[in-house]
Amino acid sequence: MFHHFFNAKRKIVIELNERYFDKNSLMRAVVQHLESEGKQCEMIDVNTLILDGKKYYVHETNVAATYCPPVQRAVLTEIN
């Protein structure tokens, strides 16, 4: 998994190497990835997690590519 931080928009985008077909599996993979990077992460429900004390809403996107399979991404948006 690769991650890119977009601090100005309070978003984190995680590009996934594998495809996840249900939200629970996707959320577990995101939590596992963030914890492997030393972050404190806890899943609240299938749409929400707490990362280093901040609450984030999580949704997935798919980016189409011309000559390869689409890339699945998890987008974390900070909730106030």
Among candidates 28, 62, 32, 33, which has minimal Cα distance to 46?
28
Residue recorded with tokens 């995101």: 30
Q: Which residues contact 44 (CB under 8 A, 6 or more apart)?
A: 50, 55
Question: Can you give the residue range of the structural domain that contains 52?
Answer: 2-79
Beta-strand relationship, 48-51 and 41-45? antiparallel
Residue 30 and residue 2 in contact, taking contact as beta carbons nearer than 8 Å: no
Count of the separate structural domains present in the chain: 1
Residue 2 and residue 13 in contact, taking contact as beta carbons nearer than 8 Å: no
Tens of pLDDT along 11-70?
888 988 888 999 999 999 999 999 999 999 999 999 999 999 999 999 999 888 777 777
Looking at the predicted structure, is the pLDDT value of residue 77 above 90? yes
